[in-house]
Structure 1
Amino acid sequence: MHKIFFLLILLMTGITGLFASEPPATEVRAVWLTTNYGLDWPRNRTSLEVQKRELIEILDSLKSHNFNTVLFQVRGRGEVLYRSRIEPMMSLIAPAGPGQPPFDPLAFVVEECHKRGLACHAWVVTYPLGNNTHVRSLGAQSVTKKNPSITKQFQKEWFLDPGNPRTDDYLVSIVQEIVTGYDVDGIHFDYIRYPDNRGRFPDDGMYRLYGKGKTRDEWRRDNITRFVTRIYDIVKSVKPWVQVSSAPLGRYRTLAGNGVGWTALETVSQDAGKWMMMGKHDAIYPMMYYKERLFYPFVDDWLNHNNGRIVVPGLGAYQMIELGWSHRDILNQVDYTRDKEVHGQAYFRAENVLSNTKGILRELGSYYRYPAKLPPMTWLSDTIPDSPNDLRAEKNEEGLFELSWEGKGSARVTYNVYRSETDTLSLDRAEKLIAVGLREPQFRYRAEENDKAYYYYITTSDAYRNESVPCVPVFFYHSAIEK
């Protein structure tokens, strides 16, 4: 039965691209922007100005292709991309020029994302600290030197020890620096798990001290869940609108013998479904870098555990290079997620999409041909914000069509712009959207002078992505000749 179902899905998506025809108005469209080894950024290692331009070019491209979320890797293996009192800055960042203040990559990317209506989540590598060579390169600033009791060496790599409660304290201090110091939209955890099962992680001492009658597997799962619970509660106490998410392994658990050998729950003590069911995650971005029977049923399983939270499958764009996938393999998965009304898609990694590997970016143009709003986090707040007031429209001196309105005065408010040929509007119609995530109460664009008249509407979205009803529209006739 399962084989027949999967064959039907493949035939439907592969032949027709069925679901690409009607993009949803609300959908996460994310990329992992990898800074480890400078894979996505920075490519240049000598000029800070070039590094800034590189990052702006990436964000401009994401915006122009109607992506809406950037998962920016702000902590690698024991080093960071923000001004931290706890861990050293990544050596990839070029020095500032004479008389220039030190560069803060996270502050820069948050500001530039928000200018473009993009959400920016701080992507944190949780437990891995790197190999001996890397740890030595950090010198006395490495946590292995400053706080060796919470670190362990395993398989020639160093890790923070999830079984030591003091590890939680250390990671909490890092997350608090980020959340209190930066206007991030989310905290996103990667490698929030034990190392894989090639050997035995050296935690005998901690297990004897804290195991309390549990099996080692139970104890390890509980260690990760303990940290997830604590960090969720702390983030919400500081800024409750900041989305807490993680990227677990793509297969939560073995399903009827399918997926044996590499699952979040059974292999690396990562009970991510439980985190959702407990209400200690706002979103999950499982790394679903597989095809067919190792993809479709596991999407369904994540949905069965989402507890009304956001599920965004991570799609392996890099597999078009590493395993020779076609772009159709990726698009089939986009089709399936839309058919299942999953909350969106994330791509690993940015460069594999933006470089148009095997034509993927071109093909996604039809899927993402309109902007998309982000899903509301109604479990945190379901209050509907007020609509904007006093919407005005004009053609300015530069020949641009300009909308302006009375804003709501909150730094966490954003605005969405709709255009309709009629005086009725459905907020669920993606083709009516022309801009999302605006931070200022104005919008300009070069409208086609096509002798058509449109109604323009603005809505307000609050920090939890709840959307207001539309404001009173303005009516504007786009013509080269004044009428």
Structure 2
Amino acid sequence: MHKYFIIGIIFLLCYSLQAQTIYPKREVRAVWVATVSNVDYPSSSGLTTTAQKNEFIDMLDKFKLAGINTIFMQVRPSCDAFYNNPNEPWSQWLTGTQGVAPSPLYDPLDFYVNEAHKRGFEIHAWLNPYRSVVNIYSSSIAYNHVSVLYPAWNVTYNTTKILNPGLQAVREYVTSVLMYIVNNYDVDGIHFDDYFYPYPQTGYVFNDANAFANDPRGFTNIDDWRRDNVNMLIGMVNDSIKAAKKYVKFGVSPFGIWKSGTPPGITGLSSYYEIYCDPVNWLNNEKIDYVLPQLYWQLGGSQDFNALSNWWGNQAQSNGRHCYAGIATYRMSSSNWSVSEIKNQINTVRNINSKVQGYSFFSATQLNNNVKGINDTLKNNQQKYRCLIPTMPWLDSIPPNPPVNVAASVATDHVNITWQLPAPAADGDSARYFVIYRFQDSASVNLNNATAIIAVTARDTTAYYDPYAIPAGSSAIYVVTACDRLHNESTPVWLNACNACITATNNECEDALQLISHTTCQYTLGTLNGATAGQLPKASCDAFGSPALKDVFYYFIAEDSEHTIEVNPTGVGSEAVDAVLAVYSGNNCSALAEISCTGGSGGSGGVTKTLTLNGLTPGQQYWLRIYDYGTLDPLYTEFEICITHNVSSHISSNITDMGAVLYPNPAKQFLNINMGQKIQTVIIRNSMGQVVFNRTIDEIPAQMDISDIKPGFYFIEILLNDFTIIQKLIKQ
């Protein structure tokens, strides 16, 4: 009994680990859309052009909601075309009769590419290289089909016709067909599936003996010759694509078992021996950008999904190429697989994301029809968060320039992020789309955290509406990056979006706020938020010559010949204010003369800046200017500022020391002051130093009506003949 209990515990632990959801930042989430025999699309042949378009758009929108980012679109199922091809006829599965154009005429592939790119998908043109006729008895055949024009190229195998891979003319023909697509359509990739030589059928022989005899190329074994025929086509296709458009990817989806017994414990038909398909050779020779084995089996058993995905991932990783796992969603219908099996296979792939960088579902029908709730499951679980498609550094490793003029407009119920397109990068590539991240604060910023990605935009988008309500007085950190068509990501641009946060009211010298000097530092909150460049030149200590100069102003009355000013930014590092402080003398804002400054060396964002002033004239007014060093606005614009002096006889911060009584405190409507000597003036300032109450006192005791002052924290200044008393006041 204990043995079975332990086994059960181990099973539950394994299942628990398997069920954990990982969210990689980069991952291919693809789906095959099969058009042969109308497996997935269109729903039937002969639909009107409008109906075909509507079906495709509806399908893409469902895929988008489910988190798909890549489409493998079958456009040449059997030497025919879902595009306007001058060399091959229109597909019968498009119009009902091979060779008959859609009416009204349109180019389906051009439409597919445009609609996919509008939604941020990669779209790969999926071609069957060799299949010529699906069924020699029932398939519609046009007069200009390759089986009619070049019958010697075709080998009949049971009820199908296959182009003979052993003919050089066939290799050249297939390559020219796909290169027409590469040269005339903005596809992101060319994709082959598993149909090379036909799968073996009892009683039937693929009759290519004459081709072998006529062109053995030194081979004595026809099996080796057949594999080399396919290898030659793969190499020719890859080299042709890269010569024309290096950025167009080329990948193949072979049968999921390379050789029976590899890896150990795996048994079944061999791609290598039975259909003469050798993807390991293509990887070793770097003739494909990705391999996508069709792993259409469950976890466990003699065709274990986990063991096979690991093995294929190792082959790709060792050659610096990508591997994606083919997942059989169709078996939810044909074999009654559960949704949990699909989820567990996704989790298996994600556990080895470094070598298996994604997956593809076959086929689209299950997602399109939400079979067993698969779309809902993906949308709410495995594909809940957006991701980026993995980069291919062997094709392009130069990132685009970051977006420019990034800004945020904050409303009560949303945030609108805007930016402008950057200039092309050093390699000439432009930004193709943009990624928007949102974080609660700077400490949580992690661009590898996929859960922070709130949007991956469509092409050339320059705005994003985020239906997120930032609480009043709070902020959120947004990061915007640019990506090129091969998904290289730019350096980030950070943005602090603040809802009802303080805005600088002392942007101009004429609006300078008064600072009161104390014997100890009593911080006043300040900000550069909303500041604009003034008329003054850079401070003398500014070695860089900061071009922004978005400054704010304060003034103070000297209490002594020596004062110390301290500015303490909020935030840390480069995201915080790197303050430049400059002090000026002068009778007014138009006649200022700099007398001292500090902080103009850069590289000290978030660091407290201190400036000690000597030789000041007590009773004289001085001006203080603050701006951020450098070219970029700081993410955190707030700072604290205080000014102190050393002469204690001029000021007291303790009202009881002077025999005075201030009550009640906190106060709601009336505030009373009583003391043994005459008071000149009572001033109340808010935390920004702005005067909210100013009254001359004629008699003692005095009662003041402060009901018009908003609730909050204030400083009350009691001006006597020879000194000033400052006390904290809380208004209810």
Other-structure match for 1:281 = 288
Query: Structure 2 matches for 1:176-191, cutoff 5 A?
Result: 176-191=179-194
Matches within 5 A, 1:116-127: 116-127=119-130
Aligned-residue offset at 1:11:
5.2
Task: Provide the residue aligned with 2:359 in structure 1.
Answer: 345
**How many angstroms apart in 2 are the aligned matches of 1:124 and 1:140?**
21
1:167 aligns with 2:170: yes
Note if 1:302 corresponds to 2:302. no
For residue 460 of structure 1, what is the aligned residue in structure 2? 482
Residue identity in the other structure for 2:31:
V
CA contact (8 A) 1:190 1:247 kept: yes
Q: Does the C-alpha gap of structure 1 residues 390 and 250 become closer, same or farther in structure 2, counting only changes over 3 Å?
A: same
| Residue in structure 1 matched with residue 435 of structure 2 by the alignment | 416
Match of 1:132 in 2: 136
Task: Tell me which amino acid in the other structure corresponds to 2:435.
Answer: N
| Paired residues of 1:416 and 1:438 also in contact (CA < 8 A) | no
Matches within 5 A, 1:11-160: 14-15=15-16, 17-20=18-21, 22-43=22-43, 45-93=46-94, 102-129=105-132, 130-135=134-139, 137-160=140-163
Take 1:109 and 1:16, find their aligned partners in 2: how far apart are those partners?
Answer: 39
- Secondary structure of the residue that 2:32 maps to in structure 1? strand
Q: State how 1:466-481 maps to structure 2 within 5 Å.
A: 466-471=488-493, 473-477=494-498
Please name the residue that 2:450 is paired with. Answer: 430
- Aligned: 1:326 with 2:338: yes
Q: Which amino acid aligns with 1:463?
A: R
Residue of structure 2 in register with 1:227 after alignment: 233
Aligned counterpart for 1:379 among listed residues 394, 397, 406: 394
Looking at structure 1, the residues matched to 461 and 214 of structure 2 have their Cα atoms a distance apart, in angstroms, of: 57
Name 1:4's counterpart in structure 2: none
Higher helix share: 1
CA contact (8 A) 1:252 1:301 kept: no
Alpha-carbon separation, structure 2, partners of 1:13 and 1:353:
28
Q: In terms of mean alpha carbon deviation, does 42-51 or 9-18 score higher?
A: 9-18
- Cα shift at 1:9: 10
- Contact preservation (8 Å) 1:74, 1:124: yes
Task: Give, in angstroms, the shift of residue 412 of structure 1.
Answer: 6.5
CA shift, 1:170, in A, is 0.7
Aligned residue pairs total 470
- The 1:443/1:349 distance shift into structure 2, 3 A limit, reads farther
**Distance between the aligned counterparts of 2:55 and 2:295, measured in 1?**
28
* Offset at residue 217 of structure 1 (A): 1.3
Partner of 2:459: 439
Quote the residue 1:336 is aligned against: 348
Mind listing any 5+ residue stretches in structure 2 that lack a counterpart? 1-7, 96-100, 504-528, 530-732
User: Which protein has greater RCO, CA pairs closer than 8 Å, 6+ apart?
Assistant: 1
* Aligned amino acid, residue 208 of structure 2: D
Could you say what secondary structure the match of 2:137 adopts? helix
Give the residue type in structure 1 aligned to 2:244.
V
Q: What is the alpha-carbon root mean square deviation over aligned residues?
A: 2.6
355, 376, 391: which one aligns with 2:369: 355
Which deviates further from its counterpart, 353-362 or 243-252? 353-362
Corresponding residue to 1:208 among 188, 206, 213? 213
CA distance in structure 2 between the partners assigned to 1:217 and 1:412 by the alignment: 47
Shift of 1:334: 1.0
CA contact (8 A) 1:127 1:191 kept: no
Q: How big is each residue's C-alpha offset from its partner over 1:357-403, in whole Å with a ceiling of 9 and x where there is no partner?
A: 2232222231111111001001222223322222122369x977242
1:174 positional shift: 0.8
Task: Determine if contact 1:274/1:305 at 8 Å carries over to the other structure.
Answer: no
386-395 or 282-291: bigger deviation: 386-395
Determine the structure 2 residue equivalent to 1:391. Answer: 406
Q: Which runs of 5+ in 1 are unaligned?
A: 1-6
TM-score by length of 2: 0.61
- TM superposition shift of 1:284: 1.1
Distance 1:354 1:14 in 2: 29
Find the residue that maps to 1:352 and give its secondary structure.
helix
Query: Which whole-Å deviations, capped at 9, do the CAs of 1:291-324 have from their partners, x for residues lacking one?
Result: 2231222112212211121111100001111112
User: Which of the two has higher C-alpha Rg?
Assistant: 2
Q: CA deviation at 1:15?
A: 4.2
Q: 1:181 to 1:459 in 2, by over 3 A?
A: same
What is the CA–CA distance in structure 2 between the aligned matches of 1:412 and 1:402, rounded to whole Å?
Answer: 17
Change (3 A) 1:470 1:126: same
Which whole-Å deviations, capped at 9, do the CAs of 1:146-167 have from their partners, x for residues lacking one? 1222211111210011111111
CA contact (8 A) 1:261 1:267 kept: no
| Distance in 2 between residues matched to 1:383 and 1:108, nearest whole Å | 30
Q: SS of the counterpart of 2:419?
A: strand
Alpha-carbon spacing, 1:133–1:290, altered in 2? closer, same or farther (3 Å): same
- AA aligned opposite 1:334: I
User: Deviation at 1:251?
Assistant: 1.2
**Partners of 1:200 and 1:371 in 2: CA distance:** 48
Structure-2 separation of matches of 1:284 and 1:299: 11
Counterparts of 1:456 and 1:214, CA distance in 2: 64
SS at match of 1:138: coil
Greater mean deviation of Cα atoms: 287-296 or 403-412: 403-412
- Please state how far the C-alpha of 1:115 moved relative to its aligned partner: 0.7
